[in-house]
Amino acid sequence: MIDEGQRDPDIVSVADVALFEEPLSPSWHSVFTSNSVVIAYNPDTDGGDRLTDAGTESWYEPMVHGNVNIGRTDPDQDPLGYRALFMLELASRYYDDVSSLREQILQQDQIYPETSLISQFETGSIDAAIAYRNMAVQRDYEYIELPDQINLSNPQYAEDWYSTTSYTLPSGQEIQGGLISYGSTIRHMSDAAVSVFDVHTTGSYLEEYGFLLRDQFPAYTGDVPQSIRQATDQSGGTQSQIGGPHRELSSTVSDITVLI
């Protein structure tokens, strides 16, 4: 919508910074937080109970055996969908006793819209979901943390591990595996926009809602205005004000639009 001129927000945030390469192409952006792929599950179902027993070391075994009803999102429509594929491909390499987990685990009838994926627990449609960590944390669901080598959360493994996976969309565009990274930029500079951007990209709410904070964040790409660096790095470190107290914003920021 932004690229087509239907929306003209002051601030734009995206769940995949690849969108800042095409089609948005801003002159600069901040990478301010990460997320991880997890296995969220309902321990009160038979399938969820099997995942509880399998734990972090063998979570894939009941899935391979068809003993867990799984939900995921469409890789052709949603980044979480193709990131689930990346995770399973990396897991096939990471664990010594498995191979081809994508082929063994995934079925077409497992696909749900991201907006309703986790809520399928409540209807009893699924036992588990390949989800983002923040989705499980915000809804207080049980989840299995996966190793950093396969959960797409750690910059340390972005080049040598995550980037070795890929998925081709129906349009022919190839999506390369990489760090789950959230980016933000200001399109129309103002004091109010800078104030909102500071809270949005360094606020303590990020950790509270299940996102992951790393020493590398916030990281900047492009021609970053000096006012942005000063606002988000007042202490001179790499994570100014992250984890600090919530700050109140003036009423002027009500005109700032943030698209995620």
pTM as predicted = 0.81
Same domain, 27 and 54: no
Calculate the alpha carbon distances from 134 to 40, 140, 182 in Å. 10, 10, 13
Where is the domain boundary, 152, 169, 200?
A: 152
Same domain, 53 and 133: yes
> Is there a domain that residue 206 lies in?
yes
Where is the domain boundary, 152, 169, 201?
A: 152
Q: How far apart are CA 183 and CA 209, in angstroms?
A: 17
Domain that holds residue 194: 11-35+180-259
Spatial contact of 39 and 118, defined as CB atoms under 8 Å apart = no
pLDDT (tens digit, 9 = 90+) per residue, 39-92?
999 999 999 999 999 999 999 999 999 999 999 999 999 899 999 999 999 999
Same domain, 26 and 41: no
> Is there a domain that residue 158 lies in?
no
pLDDT (tens digit, 9 = 90+) per residue, 194-226?
989 998 898 888 999 999 988 888 889 999 998
> Is there a domain that residue 175 lies in?
no
The CATH number for 68's domain is 3.40.190.10
Is residue 258 over pLDDT 80? Answer: no
Number of domains in the chain: 2
> Is there a domain that residue 172 lies in?
no
Q: Beta strand pairing status for 258-259 and 11-14?
A: parallel
Same domain, 26 and 123: no
Supply 72's token pair: 């995921």
Continuous H helices in 5-58: 46-58
Q: Beta strand pairing status for 181-186 and 166-168?
A: unpaired
Report how many helices (DSSP H) and strands (DSSP E) the chain contains, helices first.
11, 11
Same domain, 16 and 55: no
> Is there a domain that residue 188 lies in?
yes
Residue 23: pLDDT band with limits 50, 70, 90: low
Residue 143: pLDDT band with limits 50, 70, 90: very high
